[in-house]
Structure 1
Amino acid sequence: MKILDCSRDQDAIAQAASAVGHGELVVLPTDTVYGVGADAFSPTAVDKLLTAKGRGRDKPSPVLVASVADAEKLTTHVPDVARALMDEFWPGALTIILPAREEIGWDLGETGGTVALRMPDNPIALDLLATAGPMAVSSANLTAQHPAATVAQARQQLGEKVSLYLDGGECGGGEPSTIVIVGEQLTIVRRGAIPDSEIARFGMLAQ
């Protein structure tokens, strides 16, 4: 296990990307809370992630991306309303669930053929994602425990299960992202940092 201070370790991102490429788990800061991530395209790494959190396959991990273009490569279609949400809230605390490309051959858990995508508003996270590629990322805490706002809190919960921790200081958000399914209506499946009223500006909310 290694902890790297991103303000002092100039090769921290390169080391983290290398760890991801070798199928290891990495803790990273985001704009909401600290996350624990793995190579989204490695079923073994994703399984390691779910196991580390004590999470079942019925709760698949979202995928973080460095850009809208990266998100477009992972979904079969980006509806106009989804693109409008991305334009307004990305990078930021909104996770959008869209149909996944089957030909990718990944295994994020029981997704029902969808993928939950988010572009975080954090320079460390974006640098890592741009270097390592899209990552399956979940909050860096054990299931049912409080999300980590600092790398120390993440380490306390996940310990040696994680190969490398990126210390980017305290996360300012503290509240997880809002998760929305984009369909004929907008379905909020988890309330978070972006309130319902903001989402409702872009379409009718399912009751």
Structure 2
Amino acid sequence: MNPPVFDCRDREQMLSGMRHARQAIARGDVIVMPTDTVYGVAADAFDAAAVQKLLEAKGRSRQQPPPVLVGSVDALHALVESMPPEVERLVERFWPGGLTIVLPAQPSLTWDLGETAGTVAVRQPDNPIALELLAETGPLAVSSANLTGKAAAVDVETARRMLGSTIAVYLDDGPVSTGVASTIIDATSLAGGRGEPAVRILRDGAVSREELREELGDLLDIDDEEPRR
């Protein structure tokens, strides 16, 4: 059976689609949702079996854990061990938006995103459908809507062709305007007692190196090696 696709640009379909998406997430299924960067595959971040479904849908291993999307800065505080002031500044400027931040995870959390080495990659997306869903579901494990090795989907039809019936519900918010994935930075060293402070760029994306340098100054570690894209 083909999974339903809901056009969230139509209010009636949007309301029905959001209800179906919430129900799918609650029962441990995986959905496709719009974000401000690319379309994403989403599952309940605190349901290990659902996260495993997400990885299997994409053809990824536990060595490639998904980031977590949150609907608010308060949710970020609940997921990480500490919030260095430098990260506070980045969040104030770039959230909601295209910056994913890797920090030490709150050790009391009972979840399993894969082999994270005790960290979590967190972002607040700048998309009203995504933010409304996150407000209702709480944090979601979200990775780009594509098979591993393929380009990330910038419209729901591309995602559907790749992922098919492994997805329970598709939420369509039209083509993503930029299609540029988020920038990912590793800020774990800014947490106390974790070595010399330096923020590394793990993937270039929507937030430029120049913008990061404006906020971080010499704390931004830019070496000669080109980050992955």
| Same fold by TM-score greater than 0.5 | yes
Is 1:69 aligned to 2:74, yes or no? Answer: yes
Determine what percentage of the aligned residue pairs are the same residue: 48
Q: 1:190 aligns with which of 192, 203, 215?
A: 203
Aligned residue for 2:142? 137
Q: Is the partner of 1:188 in helix, strand or coil?
A: strand
Q: How does 1:79-118 map to 2 (within 5 A)?
A: 79-118=84-123
> Conserved in 2, the CA contact under 8 Å of 1:14 and 1:131?
no
Distance 1:52 1:186 in 2: 31
Q: How does 1:146-165 map to 2 (within 5 A)?
A: 146-165=151-170
> Conserved in 1, the CA contact under 8 Å of 2:98 and 2:125?
yes
Distance 1:205 1:44 in 2: 36
Q: How high is the TM-score relative to the length of structure 1?
A: 0.98
Deviations 1:82-129 (A, max 9, x none): 111000000000000011012111000111100000000000000111
Aligned residue for 1:59? 64
Letter in 1 for 2:48: P
Letter in 1 for 2:6: L
Distance 1:17 1:84 in 2: 32
Query: Any stretches of 5+ residues in structure 1 without a counterpart?
Result: none
Q: CA deviation at 1:134?
A: 0.4
Q: CA deviation at 1:195?
A: 0.9
Q: Is the partner of 1:87 in helix, strand or coil?
A: helix
Aligned residue for 1:168? 173
Is 1:4 aligned to 2:14, yes or no? Answer: no
Distance 1:84 1:54 in 2: 35
Q: CA deviation at 1:150?
A: 0.4
Distance 2:110 2:178 in 1: 33
Distance 1:162 1:41 in 2: 18
Letter in 2 for 1:50: L
Distance 1:25 1:73 in 2: 23
Distance 1:200 1:50 in 2: 33
Letter in 1 for 2:201: I
> Conserved in 2, the CA contact under 8 Å of 1:6 and 1:167?
yes
Q: How high is the TM-score relative to the length of structure 2?
A: 0.89
Q: CA deviation at 1:70?
A: 0.7
Letter in 1 for 2:117: G
Aligned residue for 1:205? 220
Q: Is the partner of 1:36 in helix, strand or coil?
A: strand
Larger Rg: 1 or 2? Answer: 2
Deviations 1:126-159 (A, max 9, x none): 0111111100000000001011010000000000
Please provide the CA RMSD for this pair.
Answer: 0.8
> Conserved in 2, the CA contact under 8 Å of 1:177 and 1:192?
yes
Letter in 2 for 1:202: E
Q: How does 1:11-30 map to 2 (within 5 A)?
A: 11-30=16-35
Q: Alignment length, in residue pairs?
A: 207
Query: Any stretches of 5+ residues in structure 2 without a counterpart?
Result: 190-196, 224-229
> Conserved in 2, the CA contact under 8 Å of 1:95 and 1:118?
yes
